[in-house]
Chain A
C-alpha cells in the first residue's frame, strides 16, 4: 500500500473516532454565576426567595431575609441560647426577566418592612439587670407570591396593639415567659405580623399585627392565589415557646414541643385585598380563628413563670391550657374551578395525644375547607397517621390539576415511628386521588385509605381504635428497597410497618408533585445510633419517583453519595419548575421559551455538615451547599455543583428555577470566621456537555439502582464511565496500521 493508502487508513480511523465522539448525545451540566451579597448588616437570617410567574412583573425575583440594622439592640435568642443583635425583616427584588441579577446594582434597595428593632412594647428582665425595654425582634420571615401579589409573615417581640380586633391602639397585653433553664431570663412573647404587596413587591402596605402577644406565636405559613384569596396559619403557645429536649436533629425551641392548649390559628384575606371592615385593625384580613380545640381548660401543673406586660405573674386561671397541643401546621390553598366549589385551604399539623399520660406521641391531623369558611372544618381535623405510632412533621404537596392518568392531586407525608421525639422514624405517605367528582383533597380521597368514619375525634380511646390502613412506608429498608408496582405494594417495603428495621432513620422529607409524577426525597441513615454516637454512619439524600401513569414506585436512589461518615447531608431541597409565564401564552410558538414550564425537570440541593458525636462537646459545622438537576423525570441527573463552596459556613439554601428550568436562582446564608452572616444570591445555569453515560449524581449503581444496569452490564465493550472510550477504536486503528504496514512490506 502506498503512503496515500496509509493516509486513508489514518483518516478512516480518525473519522471513526470522531463519529463516536460526536454521536454521543450531549448531557446537561450546571455552572454557576457570580455570588452576590444581598444583605448589608452581617446578621442575615433565614433568607427566602420566590419568583413571580404571572402578572405584569412575571420573572421578578423577590428575596426576604432577617438582618440586624445598625440601630439594633441586643436581645436573647432562645433557640441559639445566646445574645445577639435584634433583627428586622428586609425585602429586595430584581427583575430577572430583563436584567442580570448577578449584578447587585440591578437589585432594589433593601427595604425594612418590619422596622421594630428600635421599638419596644414591653419590659423584661432578660439579662439579670432588672426589667428593661425589650426590643422588637423579628423572627424567621415567610414569603409567598402568587400572580402579582406577595405576602410576608413573621413573628415579632414588638406587640404594641393589645387588641388588633379594634382600630384603636389598645393597651399592651403581651406576656412573657421566664425560663428557669436559661438562668431565669424573661423573654416577651411574640405576635404575628403580615405585610403585603399587590405590585410584585415594589411597594408594601403597613404591616398588620394579627395577634396580641397574649400567647407566644411561631411557625407561621402563608399561601394564596393570584386572584387574592389568601390564608395564614400559625401556632400560639399560652405558656411561651418551649425549649425542646434537643433530642431531634435541630437546636430545639422551634415550636415542635408545645404546651397543652397550644392552638393552630387561621386568618384569611378577602379576595379583593380591600379593607372591608374599617372597624377592625386587621386591614383586609378577617379576624383570626382557632382551627383546633385544645384550649379546653386553664394552665395547670409546673411550668415556667408567665408574666403580663406590667411584670406581674399571671395566675394559672388566666392562662389557657389543655391536655393536647398542636404544632407545626402546614398550609396550602388550591383552586380549580372545574373541580372545587371554592378555593380550598388544606391544613395539616401534629398534635400531642390527649392520652392522660398513656402515650407520649403525636397524631397527624388534617383539615380541608373553603378558604373563607374555617368554621366548616371540625376542630379535631382527621387523624391520618397510625394512631399507635408517634407521627410528626407533616407536609403535603397539592396540585391544581389532578394527574391525567392517576387522578393524583395530593401527596401528604410525615415522619412516623414507635419512639417519641428524636427516635428513629420512617417517612409515611398517602396520596389524594380525584375521581368520580371528588376533589382529591378529602380524607375519603386518600389512598391508602383512612378510617373516615371516626377520624375527626379528640378522644384518645376512640382515636387509638381507628382503623387507618397503614400509609406507604417510603423509607423503610432504603438501601435494599426495590422498585414496586402498585399491585406489588403488599409484598414490598412500602408496606412495612415503622418497626421494621427500627434502627434506621429518615428525616428532612421533601416531595414534588407534577401531573402523574410524584417525587419523594429524604435524608436517611441505616443505623441512627451509629450515626449519633460512633459516627460510623451518616445521612445521605435519597429520592423515590412514583410514576402514577403506570402505578410504579422506583427504588430509592442515593443522590448525595457521601461515603465519608464524618459528613452528613442536611436541609435537602427538592424544587420543581413553576408554572408557565405570560411569555408562553402560545406554547407552540412561545415569545420566551424559558417561560414554558418543563415539568420533567427539577432541582435538588442540600447542605453538608460535620457529623459530630452526641457525646462530643464539639458543635457540628456547616460546610458546603451542593445542587444538582434532575431531567427526564429523574432518569438523568447532572453532576453536583458546589452552590456555595468556600471556607465559610454555608447553610439554608432556597431555590427557584425558571419555568423551563434552564436557570436556577438560589439564595443561602454564609457565615464567615468573624461570625458575620450574609444573605447570598447566585444564578446557576445549564450547559450541554458530552454525555457521561453513567455519571451524574448517582455514581456507582447500588443494590437498588437498576436504572443504569443495562449500561453497566451490557452496551458491549465501551466504558459506561466515560463520554468517549478510545480503547476499541484504538485497537481497530492499530490493527489497520499493522496490517497496512505488513502489506507494504510484503509487496516490496
Chain B
C-alpha cells in the first residue's frame, strides 16, 4: 500500500500483503499522514464544506434542546458517519475499485465513486426526504474522491463528521 501521500489512487494493497491483512484493515485502509490532514485539499474540503454546512444550518428554522443536541451529536457526528464511511467508502467503493473499468475517472469521479454515491443517496431515501437524498450526493462524491486520494476511510470520515457537526451546531445555535 502506498504511504507517500497524494500521488494517486492507492486503493489496492500489494498482492503479497493482502493475504495477511484482516478484513477490517482492508476496509478501513491506510491512515493519513498529518501533512495530508493539513494539506490544501483536505483543508479546502473540510473547511469549505463546513462553512457551507454552517450557512445551511443557519437558514433552517427551529432549535434543539440540550438532550436532542446530545443525541443528534452522537448519532450524526460520531456513529453514523463512521458506519457510512466504513460501509460505502470502505466496503462498497473499495470492492468496486477492484474492477478496472470502475477505476476510470471522468472529471475526477471514478465509476466506483459514482455507483457508491448513487447507493449512498438511495439509502438516505429510506428515512429522509428526496431533497435530502439528492443533497447528500455532492458530499458523497467528495468523500469518495478523498477515499481514493488518501487510500482509506479515515479522512473521509473526518470530513463527514466535521460537516455534520457544523450543520448540527449551526442549526442548534444560529
Interface string of A729-748 (1 = CB under 8 A from B): 10110011001100100110
Q: Which of B11-40 contact A (CB under 8 A)?
A: 19, 22-24, 26-27
Q: Contact between A636 and B68 (Cβ–Cβ < 8 Å)?
A: yes
Q: What residues on B are CB-neighbors of A631 within 8 Å? A: 67
User: What residues on A are CB-neighbors of B66 within 8 Å?
Assistant: 632
As a 0/1 sequence over residues 550 to 576 of chain A, the CB contacts with chain B under 8 angstroms (1 = contact) are 000000000000000000000000000
Q: Is the CB of B79 within 8 A of A20?
A: yes
A186 to B129, CA, bound (A): 66
| Interface check A99, CB cutoff 8 A | no
Within 68-105 of B, Cβ neighbours of A (below 8 Å) are at 68, 70-72, 74-76, 78-81, 83-84, 86-87, 91-92, 95
Q: Chain B's nearest CB lies how many Å from the CB of A602?
A: 14
Q: Does B60 sit within 8 A of A, measured CB to CB?
A: yes
**Contact between B27 and A736, CB atoms less than 8 A apart:** yes
Which residues of B from 25 to 67 have beta carbons under 8 Å from A?
26-27, 57, 60-67
Cβ-closest chain A residue relative to B66: A632
Q: Which of the 9-residue segments B2-10, B108-116, B120-128, B142-150 touches chain A?
A: B120-128
- Which B residues between 125 and 146 are near A, CB-CB below 8 angstroms? 126-129, 131-132
Interface size bucket, A side? 35 or more
A260 at the interface (CB under 8 A from B): no
Interface centre among A16, A717, A727, A729 (most CB of B within 10 A): A717
In the assembled complex, A211 has its CB within 8 A of some CB on chain B = no
- Tell me whether A104 is interfacial, beta carbon within 8 Å: no
Measured between beta carbons, the chain A residues less than 8 angstroms from B155 are: none
- Docked Cα-Cα span, A563 to B61, in Å, equals 26
Docked CA distance A735–B71 (Å) = 27
Which chain B positions have C-beta within 8 A of A739? 23, 26-27, 91, 95
Residues from chain A with Cβ under 8 Å of B63 in the complex: 635, 706-707
A482-B61 contact in complex given A711-B72, A715-B75, C-beta closer than 8 Å = yes
Tell me the bound Cα distance from A727 to B79 in angstroms. Answer: 13
CA distance A679 to B37 in the complex (A): 69
Let me know if B168 is at the binding interface, CB within 8 A.
yes
Among B67, B79, B126, contact of A19 (Cβ-Cβ < 8 Å)? B79
Residues of chain B contacted by A495 (CB below 8 angstroms): none
Expressed in whole angstroms, the Cα–Cα distance for A706 and B164 within the complex equals 19
What is the distance, in angstroms, from A732's C-beta to the closest C-beta of chain B? Answer: 5
A693 CB–B CB distance under 8 Å = yes
Give the residue of A9, A483, A711, A747 whose beta carbon is less than 8 angstroms from that of B24. A9
Residue of chain B at shortest CB distance from A719: B127
Contact assessment for A707 and B62 in the assembled complex, using a CB-CB cutoff below 8 Å: yes
The CA-CA distance from A241 to B64 in the complex, in Å, is 51
Residue in chain A with minimal CB distance to B19: A747
**Chain A stretch 714-730: residues in CB contact (< 8 A) with chain B:** 714-721, 725, 727-729
- Say how far A741's CB is from chain B's closest CB, in angstroms: 10
Given contacts A715-B80, A727-B126, whether A707 and B64 have CB atoms under 8 Å apart is: yes
Q: Could you tell me the distance between the alpha carbons of A363 and B27 in the complex, rounded to whole angstroms?
A: 74
The interface centre, meaning the residue of A712, A715, A739 with most chain B CB atoms within 10 A of its CB, is A715
B71 CB contact (under 8 Å) in A25, A714, A747: A25
B67–A632 touching, CB < 8 Å: yes
Q: Which residues on B sit within 8 Å (CB–CB) of A732? A: 83, 86-87, 91
Contacts of A171 in B (CB 8 A): none
Q: Which of A10-29 contact B (CB under 8 A)?
A: 12, 16, 19-20, 23-25
**Choice from A25, A691, A710, A718 contacting B80 with Cβ under 8 Å:** A718
Knowing A19-B79, A24-B74, A736-B27, the reply to whether A711 touches B68 (Cβ < 8 A) is yes
Also in contact, A718 and B75, with CB within 8 A (given A5-B22, A483-B61, A710-B62): yes
Of the candidates A635, A713, A721, the one whose C-beta lies within 8 Å of that of B67 is A635
Check if B61 sits within 8 Å of A706, measured CB to CB.
Answer: yes
- Find out whether the CB atom of A717 lies under 8 angstroms from the CB atom of B24: no
Once A713-B129, A728-B80 are accepted as A-B contacts, the answer to whether A635 and B23 lie under 8 Å apart by CB is: no
Interface centre among A16, A693, A710, by most chain B C-beta atoms within 10 angstroms, is: A710
Looking at the assembled complex, report how far the CB atom of A546 sits from the nearest CB atom of chain B, in whole angstroms. Answer: 14
Q: Is the CB of B84 within 8 A of A717?
A: yes
Bound-complex Cα distance A724 to B72 (A): 13
A1 at the interface (CB under 8 A from B): yes
CA A636 – CA B72 in complex, angstroms?
14
A residues in contact with B162, CB < 8 Å:
none
Instruction: Assess the B68–A714 pair: CB atoms within 8 A.
Output: no
Report if B171 contacts A (CB, 8 A). yes
Complex formed: what's the CA distance from A635 to B84 in Å? 29
Residue A709 lies at the interface, judged by CB distance under 8 Å to chain B: yes
8 Å CB contact of A736 from B24, B75, B128: B24
Enumerate chain B residues within 8 angstroms of A633, measured Cβ to Cβ: 65
User: Is B167 part of the contact surface with A, judged by Cβ < 8 Å?
Assistant: yes
Docked pose: A65 CA to B135 CA in angstroms? 60
Task: Contact check, B127 vs A718: say whether CB atoms are below 8 A apart.
Answer: yes
CB within 8 Å for A693 and B71 given contacts A707-B62, A710-B171, A714-B167: yes
Neighbouring A residues of B67 by C-beta, 8 Å: 25, 631-632, 635-636, 691
Name the B residues within 8 Å of A720 (CB-CB): 127
Quick check: B91 and A735 within 8 Å, CB to CB? yes
Chain A contacts for B164, CB-based, 8 A: 714, 716
24 contacts between A and B (CB under 8 A): A23-B78, A25-B67, A25-B74, A633-B65, A635-B64, A635-B67, A693-B72, A709-B61, A710-B64, A714-B168, A715-B76, A716-B84, A716-B124, A717-B123, A717-B126, A717-B127, A720-B127, A725-B127, A728-B84, A731-B87, A732-B86, A739-B23, A739-B91, A746-B19
Top-9 shortest CB links A-B:
A635-B65, A706-B62, A716-B80, A735-B91, A706-B61, A632-B65, A739-B23, A728-B83, A719-B127
Q: Which residues of B contact A (CB under 8 A)?
A: 19, 22-24, 26-27, 57, 60-68, 70-72, 74-76, 78-81, 83-84, 86-87, 91-92, 95, 123-124, 126-129, 131-132, 164, 167-168, 171-172
User: Which residue numbers of A lie inside 8 Å of B, CB to CB?
Assistant: 1, 5, 8-9, 12, 16, 19-20, 23-25, 482-483, 631-633, 635-636, 691, 693, 706-721, 725, 727-729, 731-732, 735-736, 739-740, 743, 746-747
Other than the known A16-B83, A708-B68, A739-B27, what 4 A-B pairs have Cβ atoms closer than 8 Å?
A: A9-B23, A23-B78, A24-B71, A717-B128
